[in-house]
Amino acid sequence: MTSHLSPERLLRYVDSELSKYSIRKATKHFQTCHSCAQELDRLKQHLAAIAQTEVEIFERSLPPPPNSWPRLEPRLNAVALTSKAPGRNIWSLPFAYGSALVIVVLIALLVWGPVQPVSAKEVLRRATTADSARLAITSQQVVRQRVRVTGKARLASSARSARLESWKSTKSAYWQTGGDPLNDDLRNRYQKNGLASDLPLSPPALESWVKLAGSEPTASRNGGNIEIQVASNAEGRAHGLEQFSFRVQTRDWHVDEMSLAFDDATFQIDEENSSIFERNEVPSDVLARLEPSEPKSTRPPMHAPSAPRNVPPAVNLDDLEVAVRYDLHQMGADLGDSIEITPHAPGELVVNAWGISPQRKAQLTTLLANKPAIELEFQPPMDDRRSPTRAITPVPPSSSQQDNRLMTFFGGPDAEENYTRGVLQASTDVLAHLYALHELAVRWPPGQDSDLSPNAKKQLAAIVRDHARSIQTSVSELESQIDFLLKGLGYHATSETPAPAAAGANWQEASTSALEKARTSDHILRSLLTLSETPMSVSEALPKLKQSTQELETGAHELLASAK
Amino acid sequence: MYRDDIYRFLLAQGLSPAVAQDLTQDVFVDLFVALQKGTDVKSERAWLYAVAGRAVVDHWRRERPAMWAELDSAPTASAEIPSREQSPETQAAYTERLARIAAGLRKLPRERRLCLQLRMKGLSYREIAKILRVSTSTAAEWLVSTIDRLRDEAND
């Protein structure tokens, strides 16, 4: 919940032109701000379209390069000879050989460059160098890596997916598996391969899996990426590994995806984000698990225990945070207001609010200003250029993207625009609750609320339940609006009751899953009804819309069941 | 790989084939001299594009009158453009969209176009700014406004 990112900051984010701190902040922001996440998606799509235009239209229209470059070799020789002019002491036999070698390399670069294969070893070297620099930390810092793990047992009919959050300090690593069997299985395989103290997507992991597979890696280009594959040799297969592959972005040599194929299961690991935190920004429970023995080891053994200096009386920051979130929830401030809550140096919770209304400011001041261990800060908006309504931009009547069937059905542009605003508002309501839940799910993944007091657990459960109920109500509203459109446009799908809620799902997974479905449904609606980067025709959109709405309804049921 | 890429990159800045060929050779001679002097060239590709970009700017300064990039053959959208979407309707819409972006690219002031292309070749804003002899914030501002302008063109 922070203020919106300006167009320049969005572009700088895409181009990795922000400081590590700003990237971390922006990444966190995208997880909770639907508007900015959408804007980022649009920007990426637009940049991809520009790149495709360059390649598919411009480059094809350019005259072909010449077959030979007869004037180049004499020029290179001339430059070499100029260096050999009398009076220059640097020209010696080894230097001459060196220059000749450079000429040969250059000519080879020019002549054979077009058919040179990608060197897998070089790519691996560059990737590990780049990612080592990217994930470099001091002893006062900790890296957090979030990945999506998709796994499939060899005999299983379908794959499973789970989110995995891992932390690494200079001393050790901690995988927050949340008790998910998929994550546990992957962690066990990493530990078996001596990777107990590394992140899932990290240079040591890459090198170690390549080494275990044993064969020479091969590389192939795929658009702006390079795919590296290593098929296992006999020794690798004896360890159960059949193939290892990963994807490198040539733009910055970053590895963001990796696949491991074992004889009994396959795993795909996709990076969601990696961020570096100062130690005092890391939740205390994570630090305790990351380096459990650290506090004891720093205490002189012969001294009697004494109260820590300058540390206020023990405050359970997690409890305090839940209490603040509960209060904010009661006043509806967790649905889009730019408010960020961060545990801070020792025993303090910082509540930062950006660009909020005077009324909300007064509410927050009354609620939090005089509470112990809470630091309330107000910031001006960073960028007001994007208003909340910008995301809803109905297709103007004159647009070439407009479909006549929509206009015929609505009978006029005003009616179409009214409908569009209404249905997108319903969709935005669903998303607002789901983003609020998602933020809680990220903060307290499954099994990570054990440090909370019973009262805090109750408050957290109440927030989750409230959102789940609101989501079901909003989804029903959204569904009825979408049904109106589907029926009006003559799309008749069999009326299906939603599938029963999946047994055993926790609210964190259920909310993440429902959020994905809501985003899909929202994307289809915007593609159909607004000026979108990815327009869809009516005939293409309707079946997808029907399906996504049904899936969203099922997701809302599952969420409510898990919240109870 | 590099030779043809640099040549095409130069052509895409509106240079004639003969000039592009000459400048391509200049770029490689520069690389040779740099290597001979023991310059630490970390990425040949980035280095070549940076030198090529500077060569273009220098060429423009010598050829003052032209203010806009004029490509020899006006590119047109091809019906063969593979679209990521499935339906023929969407594919047609996407092709049309690329054609509008292409038209927008053609109308860009040449410095903006070079700025955008250098970004697409993976150069940092700082490197782009040095080539164009502007500040890093100006380079970033140019990129944002250029991309925004192309988005408007695409949505027209």
Contact A75 B29 (CB under 8 A): yes
Which token pair is A160? 């499973």
The owner of tokens 């395989």 is: A189
Q: What does the pLDDT average to over A56-65?
A: 77
Contact A60 B144 (CB under 8 A): no
Better-scored residue on pLDDT, A397 or A473? A473
Whether A173 has a pLDDT exceeding 80, the answer reads yes
A55 at B interface, C-beta within 8 A: no
What is the per-residue pLDDT for A279?
A: 80
Whether B93 has a pLDDT exceeding 70, the answer reads yes
Q: Name, of A21-35, A115-129, B109-123, the range with top average pLDDT.
A: B109-123
B32 at A interface, C-beta within 8 A: yes
CA distance A337 to A353: 8
What is the per-residue pLDDT for B39?
A: 75
Whether A394 has a pLDDT exceeding 70, the answer reads no
Residue A164, Ramachandran bin (φ over 0: left; ψ between -120 and 50: alpha; else beta): beta
B-chain CB neighbours of A76 within 8 Å are: 28-29, 32
B77 at A interface, C-beta within 8 A: yes
What is the per-residue pLDDT for B66?
A: 39
Which token pair is A79? 């430059």
For every residue of A96-163, DSSP letters joined together read HHHHHHHHHHHHHHHHTGGGPPP-HHHHHHHHHHHHHHHT---TTEEEEEEEEEEEEETT-SS-EEEE
A-chain CB neighbours of B83 within 8 Å are: none
At residue A488, the 3 state secondary structure works out as helix
Whether A294 has a pLDDT exceeding 90, the answer reads no
Whether A564 has a pLDDT exceeding 80, the answer reads no
Q: Are A95 and A197 in contact (CB under 8 A)?
A: no
Which token pair is B153? 């063109």
Q: Best mutation site among A6, A44, A47, A53 for testing chain B: the one with the most B CBs within 10 Å?
A: A53
Which token pair is A220? 């192939």
CA distance A496 to A402: 30
As to burial, measured by CB atoms within 10 angstroms (0-12 exposed, 13-18 middle, 19+ buried), residue A163 is buried
A538 at B interface, C-beta within 8 A: no
Whether A406 has a pLDDT exceeding 70, the answer reads yes
Better-scored residue on pLDDT, B133 or A21? B133
> Min CA distance, A227 vs chain B (Å)?
18
What is the per-residue pLDDT for A226?
A: 83
pLDDT band at B142 (very low <50, low <70, confident <90, very high): very high
Who among B117, B143, B151 is closest to A46 (CB)?
B151
Task: Name the DSSP class of A490.
Answer: T
Residue pLDDT, tens place only, A220-231: 777 677 888 888
A-chain CB neighbours of B119 within 8 Å are: 15
Q: Are A4 and A382 in contact (CB under 8 A)?
A: yes
Q: What does the pLDDT average to over A376-396?
A: 51
Task: Name the DSSP class of A171.
Answer: S
Q: At what angle do helices B44-62 and B17-36 cross, to 10 degrees?
A: 130
Report how far apart, in Å, the C-alpha atoms of A504 and of each of A204, A454, A499, A519 are. Answer: 36, 22, 15, 24
Q: What does the pLDDT average to over B64-80?
A: 40
Contact A54 B76 (CB under 8 A): no
Percent of chain A at pLDDT > 90 equals 4
Q: What does the pLDDT average to over A454-475?
A: 90
Residue pLDDT, tens place only, A477-490: 898 889 888 888 88
Whether A122 has a pLDDT exceeding 80, the answer reads no
Q: What does the pLDDT average to over A329-334?
A: 84
Contact B105 A53 (CB under 8 A): yes
Whether A431 has a pLDDT exceeding 50, the answer reads yes
CA angle (A464, A373, A322) in 5-degree steps: 5
Residue pLDDT, tens place only, A71-82: 676 777 676 666
The residue type at A81: L
What is the per-residue pLDDT for B77?
A: 42
Q: What does the pLDDT average to over B92-103?
A: 84
What is the per-residue pLDDT for A309?
A: 37
Contact B147 A99 (CB under 8 A): no
pLDDT band at B149 (very low <50, low <70, confident <90, very high): very high
Cβ within 8 Å of B, A 244-273: 250-252
Contact A43 B147 (CB under 8 A): yes
Which token pair is A557? 């049921």
- Which residue is closest to A12 within chain B, CA to CA? B140
What is the per-residue pLDDT for A70?
A: 66
Q: Are A368 and A342 in contact (CB under 8 A)?
A: no
At residue A174, the 3 state secondary structure works out as strand
B135 at A interface, C-beta within 8 A: no
Q: Mean pLDDT of all residues in chain A?
A: 76
Percent of chain B at pLDDT > 90 equals 13
Q: What does the pLDDT average to over A32-58?
A: 85
Residue pLDDT, tens place only, A518-562: 988 988 888 888 766 567 788 888 888 888 988 999 989 888 888
Whether A371 has a pLDDT exceeding 80, the answer reads no
The residues with which A228 forms a beta bridge, in sequence order, are A219, A246
Who among B89, B141, B147 is closest to A47 (CB)?
B147
What is the per-residue pLDDT for A505?
A: 75
- Please tell me the least confidently modeled range out of A183-187, A308-312, B41-45: A308-312
Better-scored residue on pLDDT, A173 or A196? A173
- Please tell me the least confidently modeled range out of A140-144, A446-450, B106-110, B136-140: A446-450
Predicted TM-score (pTM) above 0.80: no
The owner of tokens 């250098």 is: B118
- Which residue is closest to B137 within chain A, CA to CA? A8
Contact A537 B98 (CB under 8 A): no
B97 at A interface, C-beta within 8 A: yes
Residue pLDDT, tens place only, A232-269: 887 777 788 888 999 888 777 888 899 998 888 889 99
What is the per-residue pLDDT for A402?
A: 46
Query: Strand A348-354's sheet: what is its strand order?
Result: A339-344, A348-354, A374-379
Better-scored residue on pLDDT, A496 or A115? A496
As to burial, measured by CB atoms within 10 angstroms (0-12 exposed, 13-18 middle, 19+ buried), residue A139 is exposed
Close Cβ partners of A71 (under 8 Å, ≥ 6 residues apart): B25
A-chain CB neighbours of B29 within 8 Å are: 72, 75-76, 79
Nearest CA-CA partner of A110 in A81, A73, A60? A73
Contact A110 B2 (CB under 8 A): yes
CA angle (B84, B85, B86) in 5-degree steps: 125
Give chain B as a 3 state SS string: CHHHHHHHHHHHCCCCHHHHHHHHHHHHHHHHHHHHCCCCCCCHHHHHHHHHHHHHHHHHHHCCCCCECCCCCCCCCCCCCCCCCCCHHHHHHHHHHHHHHHHHHHHCEHHHHHHHHHHHCCCCHHHHHHHHCCCHHHHHHHHHHHHHHHHHHHHC
> Min CA distance, B140 vs chain A (Å)?
7
Which token pair is A339? 């408010």
What is the per-residue pLDDT for A11?
A: 92
B150 at A interface, C-beta within 8 A: yes
A80 at B interface, C-beta within 8 A: yes
Contact B11 A62 (CB under 8 A): yes
Q: What does the pLDDT average to over B139-150?
A: 92
Whether A512 has a pLDDT exceeding 90, the answer reads no
Q: Best mutation site among B97, B100, B107, B145 for testing chain A: the one with the most A CBs within 10 Å?
A: B97
Q: What does the pLDDT average to over A499-515?
A: 76
Task: Name the DSSP class of A397.
Answer: T
Q: What's the ipTM? A: 0.81
CA distance A43 to A450: 40
Contact A58 B124 (CB under 8 A): no
For every residue of A233-288, DSSP letters joined together read -HHHHHTTEEEEEEEEETTTTEEEEEEEEESSEEEEEEEEEEEEEEGGGS-HHHHH
Q: What does the pLDDT average to over A463-483?
A: 90
What is the per-residue pLDDT for A350?
A: 79
The owner of tokens 């997808």 is: A544
Please enumerate, as own/partner, the contacts of A185-194 that have beta carbons within 8 Å and a separation of 24 or more: A185/A151, A185/A265, A186/A149, A186/A151, A186/A267, A186/A269, A189/A260, A189/A262, A189/A267, A193/A239
B-chain CB neighbours of A60 within 8 Å are: 75, 78
CA atoms lying within 13 Å on the CB side of residue A84: 15
B119 at A interface, C-beta within 8 A: yes
Whether B145 has a pLDDT exceeding 90, the answer reads yes
> Min CA distance, B28 vs chain A (Å)?
8
Whether B111 has a pLDDT exceeding 50, the answer reads yes
Better-scored residue on pLDDT, A530 or A187? A187
pLDDT band at A463 (very low <50, low <70, confident <90, very high): very high
> Min CA distance, B42 vs chain A (Å)?
11
- Helix (H) / strand (E) containing A74: helix A72-83
Is the CA virtual torsion A395, A399, A400, A405 positive or negative? Answer: positive
What is the per-residue pLDDT for A366?
A: 81
The residue type at A365: T
CA angle (A320, A325, A331) in 5-degree steps: 135
Q: Are A160 and A182 in contact (CB under 8 A)?
A: yes
Whether A100 has a pLDDT exceeding 60, the answer reads no
Report how far apart, in Å, the C-alpha atoms of A427 and of each of A421, A519, B101 are. Answer: 10, 9, 30
B41 at A interface, C-beta within 8 A: no
Better-scored residue on pLDDT, B67 or A410? A410
Whether A513 has a pLDDT exceeding 80, the answer reads yes
What is the per-residue pLDDT for A493?
A: 63
Contact B3 A65 (CB under 8 A): yes
The residue type at A517: K
For the beta carbon of residue A48, count every other beta carbon within 10 angstroms.
Answer: 14
CA distance A110 to A198: 41
Q: What does the pLDDT average to over B30-53?
A: 81
